[in-house]
A = this chain, B = another copy of it.
Amino acid sequence: MKKMKSFELLKKSGSARVGILHTAHGDIETPCFMPVGTLGTVKTLSPAELIEINAQIILGNTYHLYLRPGIEVLKNVGGLHKFINWQKPLLTDSGGFQVFSHSKLRKITEEGVEFTSHIDGSKHFFSPEKVIEIQQIFGSDIMMVLDECTPYPVEHDYAKSSMDLTLRWAKRSKIRNEGRGTEQLLFGIIQGSTYKDLRKESAEKTVEIGFDGYALGGLSVGEPNELMYDIITDAEKFLPENNPRYLMGVGTPEDLWECVERGIDMFDCVLPTRNARNGQAITSTGKINIRNAEYKNDFLPLDSSCGCYTCKNFSRAYLSHLFRCDEILGLRLATLHNLTFMLNLAQRIRESIKTENFRQEKKNFFDKYTR
C-alpha cells in the first residue's frame, strides 16, 4: 500500500512555494522556520511559550540526545514528545553535523563514524542504521539520514568521495526504515559542498533512492552568502516539486527571503536564539544590541511593530538592565522576541506567496531592514 502523500504544494510564485507538510503530530505550513531545541528544550523557553508564538515544529538533535539523557530514558518514557511535553511535530537532525563539529576524535569508515563524546570523552559509534533506530525510539515526526557534512572550503576530490559515502549511507538508512508502516517521515540530505556538478549528482541520486523530503546540507558553513544562494538556485532544479526542501542550519531574516525565492520550504537556525542570549535582538529595522549604552534610558519596546509578550510589556531600558545584571529573564524575553520575529516573518512570507505579492513584500521588508 502506498503511503499517503505527506506534502501538498498549494501555490507557486516563481520558485517560491507555499505548501502543507502532514506529520503524525499535525500539519506544518511551509515555508517555515523551525526553532532549535538541541537537547529537548528550545533554550530558555517553555513549550507553552512556543505554542503561544505559533511554533509549528521544533528540532531536536540525535547526537546530543543520544548522549544525554540517552536512549534508555527516551525508550522508557515512550519517546521525545512525551519526555519534553511537546505535542506538535518534531524533527531530529541525524547528528552528522554535530559529530563532525563537536567531536575532536572521529574516524569515518564505510560502516559509519566513531566519535568521542564532547562531555566525557567516551567512545561511541554511529552507523546510518543506528541513527535511524535511535530516531525511531525518539518517535521523531521527521528523521534525517546520517551524512558526512564537509567543511568549507574542501577539495573537489574529497567532496566527491564524501558525497558518494553519504549516498551509500542514505540507501542503507532508507532500507533500515522500510516496511515499518511507520508514520515517521525520512528526509535525505544532499551534499557536494560548493561544486555544482556534485550537488547535481547528489540531488539526482538521493531523489532516486526516494525520501519524503530533501535537505541541502553542508551550506552556511563559511562560504560567502552569494555562493550559497547560487548553489541553491542550481540545486533546486534537480529536486522534485512535490517534496519539501529543507535548507539545514539557515538562517537569518535575509536568508529566508532569498532562499524561499529560490524554492526552499524549511529552515532551522540557532542564531535567533543564540544571538538573543548575547543581547542581540532582531527588529523590523535591523539588529540591535541591547547592551549598548543608548538603550539604558530608552523606554520604547524592542520593536514597536511587534506584538510579542516582550514588546507588549517591557522596555529596552528594562531589557538592558536585565542583561547588565545577567538576569535570566533577559535571556528569556530576548529569545521569545527573536523567535516571534522569525516565525512571524515566515508567516508573512507565506502570505505574500499566497497573495502573489512576494517580490513587493520582499522589497517592503528590505526598505526598512538594515542588513
Residues on A facing B (Cβ under 8 Å): 39-41, 43-48, 68-69, 72-73, 76-77, 83-85, 296-297, 299, 309, 313-315, 317-318, 320-322, 324-325, 327-329, 331-333
A77 with B299: in contact, given A39-B327, A329-B44 (CB under 8 Å)? yes
Residues of chain B lying within 8 A (CB to CB) of residue A77: 299, 315, 317
CB-based contact B313/A68 at 8 Å: no
CA distance A317 to B45 in the complex (A): 18
CB-based contact A321/B46 at 8 Å: no
Residues of chain B lying within 8 A (CB to CB) of residue A46: 309, 329, 332-333
CB-based contact A325/B68 at 8 Å: yes
CB-based contact B68/A321 at 8 Å: yes
Q: In the complex, how many angstroms separate the beta carbon of A273 from the nearest chain B beta carbon?
A: 11
CB-based contact B331/A328 at 8 Å: yes
Q: In the complex, how many angstroms separate the beta carbon of A35 from the nearest chain B beta carbon?
A: 13
Residues of chain B lying within 8 A (CB to CB) of residue A332: 44, 46, 328, 332
Q: In the complex, how many angstroms separate the beta carbon of A106 from the nearest chain B beta carbon?
A: 22
Residues of chain B lying within 8 A (CB to CB) of residue A328: 43-44, 328, 331-332
Main secondary structure of the interface of A (DSSP, over half): helix
Q: In the complex, how many angstroms separate the beta carbon of A316 from the nearest chain B beta carbon?
A: 11
Q: In the complex, how many angstroms separate the beta carbon of A59 from the nearest chain B beta carbon?
A: 15
Q: In the complex, how many angstroms separate the beta carbon of A293 from the nearest chain B beta carbon?
A: 12
Choose among A40, A315, A318 the residue with the greatest number of B CB atoms under 10 Å from its CB: A318
Residues of chain B lying within 8 A (CB to CB) of residue A43: 327-329
CA distance A336 to B333 in the complex (A): 17
Q: From A321, which residue of chain B is reached at the shortest CB distance? A: B69
CB-based contact A329/B41 at 8 Å: yes
Q: In the complex, how many angstroms separate the beta carbon of A244 from the nearest chain B beta carbon?
A: 29
Q: Which of B47, B72, B76, B333 contacts A313 (CB 8 A)?
A: B47
CB-based contact B41/A73 at 8 Å: no
CB-based contact A39/B325 at 8 Å: yes
Q: From A64, which residue of chain B is reached at the shortest CB distance? A: B325
CB-based contact B39/A297 at 8 Å: no
CB-based contact B73/A317 at 8 Å: yes
Additional A-B contact list (17), CB under 8 Å, known A39-B325, A69-B324: A39-B327, A40-B321, A41-B322, A41-B329, A43-B329, A45-B329, A47-B313, A48-B309, A68-B321, A68-B325, A69-B296, A69-B317, A69-B321, A76-B299, A77-B299, A83-B315, A85-B314
Enumerate 8 A-B pairs (CB-CB under 8 Å) in ascending A order.
Answer: A39-B327, A40-B321, A41-B322, A44-B332, A47-B313, A68-B321, A77-B299, A83-B317
Q: In the complex, how many angstroms separate the beta carbon of A29 from the nearest chain B beta carbon?
A: 26
CA distance A39 to B330 in the complex (A): 12
